[in-house]
Structure 1
């Protein structure tokens, strides 16, 4: 079957969750979503998972980019993105699955990206709705960032949840920070995205296109402190104040890419 998405590479980051990866690739195949290329960037998984990945290549043809030991999220995304040769990259972590019907939304996103050369990325999933949106079409809205808008959530234009982006992403925003925790890596890219005038679209039904699946057999590999996730009202209030101060400070002190 000829690839319908011949301008797009599927980039999947993987670490010790080969069953999750197989489920993800099957979900795309079941919808006849055929990419011109698939890159799986592995972050030093255990031998049994690497063997399973190599076996999976007989069913799902993908290029496997490996590393001899775990180097963290930043390195894993960087080396995966370096291997992409198409104008667009669909970035998905291995624990996400597209819901049935996703194909049409990907086509819509690509048509917007082709039309709007100023749009750097189009987001398909989020934990919360971005607070400042300008409706565009097909259920997508443009994310509007103004430093004087209230609240810290305005800083979350970028996310490493499933999204479509231009493969020249590094040219404008730099590479992902390496050798630090994954949350910090993502945060620094979010700051760079805003500092370098990034523009993004956001699918308003943000839980309607992908499902994040963390099974008992393959739980999340991202560990967060209880304080960061506590629903306690007092802790949540203090956390909000802290994030407002922190985000403004980090944004104002970040350097633009020359």
Structure 2
């Protein structure tokens, strides 16, 4: 844990806040942004970076989700509920995002010393525990059976999951990403994911074990703390923690060189996303 805490203590934290860009900010732009930051931080052109981002009515599929037996029926179910959908380039399974879900990315370099995968996860877990320490709630990291996108670093309070962590590694950069269900109903988001799987599996036997989603095990931080938190409240907590654990915060946008790199990564994720979905469609 000490090594994970050390990761959070940077001389400079570069801040990119994209939490208020609104419904036209597409999730594929986010994945291209984190890839750009991985390359920039990984090669030493940028200090460690922290990004906050929100996407409206977006359903993010994992690669395994594209192999569901009745995927097109699952996607039609999402379309009827006004959701756009994409396939992400980091690990995990389906996740529901909306304006009440805050996503955070911490981007580190592996130049000096390799960052063990658990060290990255532990750093994010420590960050979240510290951000909400004033609520005196025990935030655990363990798999919550019945949650969507389950994993050993599901974050929960009293057995109810409110966050999940993933990682993306590229060009000696490591992006540790988390989604935080801040406001609204965690169980309603879970109902959406359950509905997707119900339509995309239809009780067919599958080689891969998809989660049997139980909405009752999912909740938002507002529900779990009894406090009417907003996404911007949590962004402020995020920035306050980083300020207290760094020499300085440096708010910025992409440099000219990074913008060119971003355009390349964006085209790559758009093409990859289209290819994955069309390949999945063709195989059905």
TM-score by length of 2: 0.27
- Give me the TM-score of the superposition, normalised by structure 1: 0.28
Looking at both structures, which has the greater relative contact order when contacts are Cα pairs under 8 Å and sequence separation is at least 6?
2
Relative to its length, the structure with more helix (as a share) is 2
